[in-house]
Amino acid sequence: RHKEKWAATAPRIPSTRLALHHFDTSYSLHLGALWPSVRAGLLCEQKYGALLNNFAAADHVPEELELLNATDFISEALQKVQQWQRGTAVGDAATGCQEGSGEGRPGVQAEMVAQAEMSPPLCTSISSKIKCYTFPRGDITRFRPARPDGLGLLDYYLMDAASLLPVLALHVQPDDFVLDLCAAPGGKTLALLQTGFCGHLAANDVSISRTKRLHQILHSYVPREVRDTVSVTSYDGRDWDQVKGGTFHKVLVDVPCTTDRHSAMEEDNNIFHRRRTKERQMLPMLQLQLLMAGILAARPGGAVVYSTCSLSPLQNECVVERALDVARAQFNITLHPEDLSHFRTLFQDTFRLGELVLPHLTANFGPMYFCKLRRV
């Protein structure tokens, strides 16, 4: 016990403990019975995915990873859709059933119909060239570090596989102009480039030091001719509208947040440090301003994906709801939230997923929240 009379400062409570206390209070209410298992996931080693670098000469890597029992979770999901479609087609031909008629094996048929209905957008949304290998549920094997090819380009990028979901949700189409408003260190920028579809990619981040890291990643993974299609800037994203408003087909707004996994585990750069209380409390406002800037940067008909790696409804749904109101009231902009529920069906083998990827000991990805808005 310290002598209060003599102690110059009160004993410091670790930021990780403050974070966990905060999470226990708010997330046990928000997630209910799910919270204990999510908490255990947050406190254990996270799982990585290996995003294959299509720009590297690394044809041998898929075989190498498959020998270790890793699979590309995106192409697996695509195969599943194709099987459902074939199943539905065979069922239709054999029974002459109309979709949804419920004849034959009602449960199975209803499931097939639901899946078939969501299949076309699904197929196109994941038919991009993004490939990401993960180990099966419960397998905690680590990937070897990335290796350079003959030209020095690294063969894969290790990242939380859940971070790819906002990129997949964005559904980049050939020649799209894409803005990544909060881009550094650049995992999602790299994934956007792997689609091979970006006509132009603007990657912005206010932090100069983190933008340097983004440059490093681009140099390590992307050949010069492709790098030349990327413009890297360090504006405050909130001012983006003054730079280039209303021009992008697709905008990714991957905002700064309480980075729950980091806050629960690492003292370094922890936003729950007492000195950063004000900054933490202001996060939802900053997130709203960044999302509004992203919305204004999108052209009519364009799409915006908002994402965080926090479980907090105040940083997730509440920010999106507020942005819809502000867009309508102040800018006369209507936005339609897109239904991403098909992602749940599609990727359920890899993630514990709702609108939110919840960490779990057997599939320790996330947390990751993402929401897609289409500008009318």
Task: Please list the active-site residues.
Answer: 309
Residue from 237, 284, 294, 359 in contact with ligand SAM (CB under 6 A): 237
Write down the least CB distance from residue 256 to ligand SAM, Å.
4
Write down the least CB distance from residue 326 to ligand SAM, Å.
17
By CB under 6 A, tell whether 359 contacts ligand SAM.
no
Residue from 41, 185, 294, 366 in contact with ligand SAM (CB under 6 A): 185
Residue from 42, 74, 164, 182 in contact with ligand SAM (CB under 6 A): 182
Residue from 18, 19, 183, 291 in contact with ligand SAM (CB under 6 A): 183
Write down the least CB distance from residue 39 to ligand SAM, Å.
21
Neighbouring-strand partners of residue 49: 159
Lookup result for tokens 């994941």: 126
Would residue 305 be called left, alpha or beta, if left means φ above 0 and alpha means ψ between -120 and 50 degrees?
beta
Which of 49/256 has CB closer to ligand SAM? 256
Element containing residue 284 per DSSP (H, E): helix 283-297
Residue from 41, 186, 294, 366 in contact with ligand SAM (CB under 6 A): 186
Is 221:157 a contact under the CB 8 Å cutoff? yes
Q: Dihedrals φ, ψ of 229, to 5°?
A: -90, 0
- Cα–Cα dist 73/160, whole Å: 13
By CB under 6 A, tell whether 184 contacts ligand SAM.
yes
Is 104:97 a contact under the CB 8 Å cutoff? yes
Binding mask 240-279 for ligand SAM (x = CB under 6 A): --------------x-x-----------------------
How many CB atoms are located within 10 Å of the residue 306 CB? 28
Which of 115/189 has CB closer to ligand SAM? 189
Write down the least CB distance from residue 187 to ligand SAM, Å.
4
By CB under 6 A, tell whether 176 contacts ligand SAM.
no
Residue from 39, 131, 188, 360 in contact with ligand SAM (CB under 6 A): 188
Beta strands in the chain (DSSP E): 49-52, 71-72, 132-134, 156-159, 176-180, 198-204, 230-233, 248-254, 298-308, 335-337, 352-353, 356-358, 368-375
By CB under 6 A, tell whether 222 contacts ligand SAM.
no
Burial of 370 (0-12, 13-18, 19+ CB in 10 A): buried
Is 338:372 a contact under the CB 8 Å cutoff? yes
Is 349:73 a contact under the CB 8 Å cutoff? yes
Q: Which among 47-55, 138-146, 180-188, 326-334 is the span making contact with ligand SAM, rule CB under 6 A? A: 180-188
By CB under 6 A, tell whether 220 contacts ligand SAM.
no
Write down the least CB distance from residue 70 to ligand SAM, Å.
21
Binding mask 196-215 for ligand SAM (x = CB under 6 A): ---------xxx--x-----
Cα end-to-end span (Å), the chain:
62
By CB under 6 A, tell whether 172 contacts ligand SAM.
no
How many CB atoms are located within 10 Å of the residue 51 CB? 26
List contacts with ligand SAM (CB under 6 A): 163, 182-188, 205-207, 210, 236-238, 254, 256
